[in-house]
Amino acid sequence: MTTDNQAVHRMTCRVLYGDTDAGGVVYNANYLRYFEQGRTEMMRERVCSYRDIEKLGIVLPVTECFVRYKSPAFYDDLLIIETTIAELHTYTCKFTYRILRQDEGRTRPTLLTRGYTINAAITRAGKLTKLPDHITTALHRLLGKETPPPPTKELD
């Protein structure tokens, strides 16, 4: 599901019983799974599937992540996962996320979690690599840039 703002991808996801802990709330690490769902579906709808990228011999593991918890989610909540691409570099891309819940009687959704991941493009042998031009071009369009900037060296 997409929005008028093509930079933001939105999808919904129902909280399953197995996503919750003994206290009945979504277990903290599961928000990273929701981030992955948002990222995977955004890529599939806007760029290409991860399976297509893997066929090129490239994988995109998470090299850094951050999660800020604002309010809990519970079993059977319908979550809204918002995903954007925030930065694109030679070997890495940064995705940002917001997870919200539309509560009855409220006009605006409740922000539950926000965060980001940085994903690096590597070969199956574990070597940093550049993404193919058609993928970086599509990602730059999502950033609102038509032409990619010149290559830079980054990766602290």
* Marked catalytic residue, from 21, 52, 76, 103: 21
All domains in the chain, ordered by first residue: 9-142 (3.10.129.10)
Please report, for residues 4, 115, 122, 129, the alpha-carbon distance to residue 57 in angstroms, rounded to integers and kept in the order given.
33, 28, 8, 10
pLDDT of residue 106: 84
1 pLDDT tier (thresholds 50, 70, 90): very low
pLDDT of residue 127: 96
Q: Which amino acid is at 32?
A: L
Per-residue pLDDT at 107 exceeds 90: no
Determine whether 52 is an active site residue.
Answer: no
Of the listed ranges 21-25, 72-76, 141-145, the one predicted with least confidence: 141-145
Please report, for residues 31, 49, 64, 92, 121, the alpha-carbon distance to residue 156 in angstroms, rounded to integers and kept in the order given.
26, 28, 11, 11, 15
User: What is the four-CA torsion angle of 92, 148, 98, 52, rounded to 10 degrees?
Assistant: -70
Number of H helices, E strands in the chain: 3, 7
pLDDT of residue 103: 85
